[in-house]
């Protein structure tokens, strides 16, 4: 029986200098392949708004969307550490509402941890409240799409000394508030390094350089599936989009040419006696 990965194993990996491998996932099938490949952590990100649901931002994503996709991922990856991303307006209003919604990720979808964005006092307070309720919570700082209206778009952060120091201080406050880990997105490598060096919790990075304790990518970017836009930090490891296109095109061409299905291969068998009886019966209809 495979062993379930917990926060204890992730902490041990950091202590041993082993990099944590983190990928997003949104459905049963992809999660199954991710677990088979030995991915350490899966984020059911609110990026599902862009990647799966076809929205042009993460703002429309609801708690119901998240719970449904988290349940599917949990079924596909029962032994992986899975993080549920708290969608816009599921934690902004109050500590109480944040705890109630974080609880849904655990109770209804079997998540190991929740993640929320932000470096302001409200984010610190939500992290403390969720942690006090006994739920693992990951902070998310740097490029935080739920703050894109205030940031003037999804742009890299921490590019001045002052901005970098603000992020480094925020990471410390989130850790003090009880965050079990922090995801740092879209910052120069030197900022990712400074945050990682001061922390006593796992620091994961996406577009935050090579020094963080682990790396996250959006699965659909790295397998060449999502091509609406590609951030600078993405490396492509596959051509799933190209493979789908080749398969769909070949199928369409064979159906139109009458080459698929081939009844000698793709059809159910009937005994010669039953076939003869059927043909006879059809004649008298
Ligand atoms: O929703 C998500 O997938 C994320 C990552 C882009 C960091 O939060």
Closest Cα partner for 24 from 63, 2, 61, 52? 52
Q: How far is CA 283 from the centre of its chain?
A: 59
Q: Are 80 and 42 in contact (CB under 8 A)?
A: yes
Spatial distance between the Cα atoms of 138 and 140, rounded to a whole number of angstroms: 7
Nearest-atom index, ligand 1, CA of 43: 3
pLDDT band at 121 (very low <50, low <70, confident <90, very high): very high
Nearest-atom index, ligand 1, CA of 216: 7
Is 185 a residue of the active site? Answer: yes
Instruction: Pinpoint the alpha helices (H) of 140-234.
Output: 148-151, 161-177, 189-198, 219-222
Angle at 181 between CA 179 and CA 185, to 5 degrees: 115
What residue's CA is closest to ligand 1, atom 2? Answer: 45
Hey, which of 23, 25, 26, 43 would you mutate to test ligand 1's pocket, going by the most ligand atoms within 8 Å of its Cβ?
Answer: 43
Q: What is the pLDDT of residues 253-264, one digit of tens each?
A: 999 999 999 999
Q: How far is the CA of 119 from the centre of ligand 1 (A)?
A: 16
Spatial distance between the Cα atoms of 251 and 260, rounded to a whole number of angstroms: 8
Q: What is the pLDDT of residues 23-47, one digit of tens each?
A: 999 999 999 999 999 999 999 999 9
What residue's CA is closest to ligand 1, atom 3? Answer: 45
b/e 256-284 (16+ beta carbons within 10 angstroms → b): eeeeeeeeeeeeeeeeeeeeeeeeeeeee
Closest Cα partner for 218 from 24, 22, 66? 24
pLDDT band at 138 (very low <50, low <70, confident <90, very high): very high
Integer-rounded Cα Rg, in Å, for the chain is 24
Q: How far is the CA of 46 from the centre of ligand 1 (A)?
A: 6
- Catalytic-labelled residue, pool 185, 243, 273, 280: 185
Of the chain, the percentage scoring pLDDT greater than 90 comes to 98
Q: How far is the CA of 13 from the centre of ligand 1 (A)?
A: 22
Spatial distance between the Cα atoms of 87 and 67, rounded to a whole number of angstroms: 10
pLDDT band at 2 (very low <50, low <70, confident <90, very high): confident
Residues with CB under 6 Å of ligand 1 are 24, 43, 45-47, 85, 140, 183, 185, 206, 216, 218
b/e 120-143 (16+ beta carbons within 10 angstroms → b): eebbbebbbbbbeeebbbbbbbbb
pLDDT value at position 246?
98
Of the chain, the percentage scoring pLDDT greater than 70 comes to 100
139 — phi, psi (to 5°)? -80, 160
Q: What is the pLDDT of residues 146-197, one digit of tens each?
A: 999 999 999 999 999 999 999 999 999 999 999 999 999 999 999 999 999 9
Q: What is the pLDDT of residues 264-276, one digit of tens each?
A: 999 999 999 999 9
Q: How far is the CA of 166 from the centre of ligand 1 (A)?
A: 21
Rounded mean pLDDT of the chain? 97
């Amino acid at each position: 029986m495979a062993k379930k990965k917990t926060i204890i194993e992730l902490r041990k990996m950091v202590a041993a200098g082993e990099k944590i491998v983190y990928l997003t996932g949104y459905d049963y099938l992809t999660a199954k392949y991710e677990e088979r490949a030995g991915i350490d952590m899966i984020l059911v990100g609110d990026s599902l708004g862009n990647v799966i649901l076809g929205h042009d931002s993460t703002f429309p994503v609801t708690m119901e969307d998240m719970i449904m996709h988290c349940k599917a991922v949990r079924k596909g990856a029962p032994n992986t550490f899975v993080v549920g991303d708290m969608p816009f307006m599921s934690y902004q209003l109050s500590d109480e509402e944040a705890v109630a919604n974080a609880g849904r990720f655990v109770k209804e979808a079997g998540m190991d941890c929740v993640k929320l964005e932000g470096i302001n006092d409200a984010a610190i307070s939500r992290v403390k409240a969720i942690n006090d309720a006994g739920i693992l919570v990951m902070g998310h700082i740097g490029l935080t799409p739920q703050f894109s209206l205030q940031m003037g778009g999804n742009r890299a952060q921490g590019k001045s000394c002052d901005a970098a120091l603000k992020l480094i201080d925020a990471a410390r406050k989130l850790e003090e508030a009880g965050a079990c880990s922090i995801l740092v997105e879209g910052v120069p490598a030197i900022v990712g390094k400074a945050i990682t060096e001061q922390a006593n919790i796992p620091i994961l990075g996406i577009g935050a350089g090579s020094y963080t304790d682990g790396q996250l990518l959006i699965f659909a970017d790295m397998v060449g599936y999502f091509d609406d836009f590609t951030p600078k930090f993405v490396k492509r490891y596959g051509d799933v989009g190209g493979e789908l296109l080749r398969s769909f095109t070949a199928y369409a061409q064979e159906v139109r040419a009458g080459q698929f299905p081939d009844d000698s291969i793709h059809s159910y068998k009937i005994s010669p006696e039953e076939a003869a009886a059927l043909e006879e019966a059809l004649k008298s209809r």
